[in-house]
C-alpha cells in the first residue's frame, strides 16, 4: 500500500513534463512510440511463432 501511494506521489510530482514541447520534441516522441510498438509486435510475433511450433 505504501508503495502504491509513493508511486502516486511520484506520478503527481512529475505530472507536467518540463521539457519545452516543440515540434521536434513531439515528433521524436511520436517516432519513439511507433518504434516501441513495432518492437513489441515483433516480440509477440516471435512468441506466437514459438508457441505454434510446439
Partner 1 sequence: MKETPPIALRLRKSIGLVPRIYYGWRRGIKWLGIFLAVSGPGIIVMLADNDAGGITTYAATGARYGFGLLWFLVILGPVAYYVQEMTVRLGAVTKRGHAEAIFDAFGPFWGWFSLLDLILTDWLTLITEFIGMTAAFSIFHIPPFITVIAVSIVMILMVLQGRYWTWEKIAFLFCIFNLVYIPCAIIVHPSASDIVRTGLIPNFPGGFDNQMFFFLMANIGTTIAPWMVFFQQSAVVDKGINEKDVPWSKLDTAIGSGFTVLVAGFVIITTGAVLKGAPIESAAQAAIALGGINPWLGTLLAIGLFDAGFLGGICISLASSWAFGEVFGWAHSLNNKIKEAPWFYAMYVILLATAGCVVLIPGAPLVLITLFVQVIAVTLLPATLVFLILLLNDKERMGSLTNTRAQNIISVTVVALIVVLSTLYGISALFPDIFK
The one-character DSSP state at 51 is H
Give least dist CB 42 to partner 1, A. Answer: 7
- 6 touches partner 1 (CB under 8 A): yes
The one-character DSSP state at 19 is S
How far is 23 from 27, CA to CA, in rounded Å? 6
Tell which positions 10-49 bind partner 1, by CB under 8 A: 10-11, 14-20, 25, 28-29, 32, 35-36, 39, 42-43, 46
Give least dist CB 32 to partner 1, A. Answer: 6
Say how many residues make up the chain: 54
Amino acid at each position: 500500500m505504501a508503495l502504491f501511494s509513493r508511486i502516486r506521489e511520484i506520478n503527481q510530482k512529475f505530472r507536467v513534463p518540463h521539457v519545452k514541447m516543440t515540434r521536434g520534441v513531439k515528433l521524436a516522441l511520436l517516432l519513439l512510440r511507433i518504434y516501441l510498438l513495432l518492437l513489441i509486435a515483433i516480440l509477440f510475433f516471435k512468441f506466437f511463432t514459438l508457441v505454434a511450433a510446439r
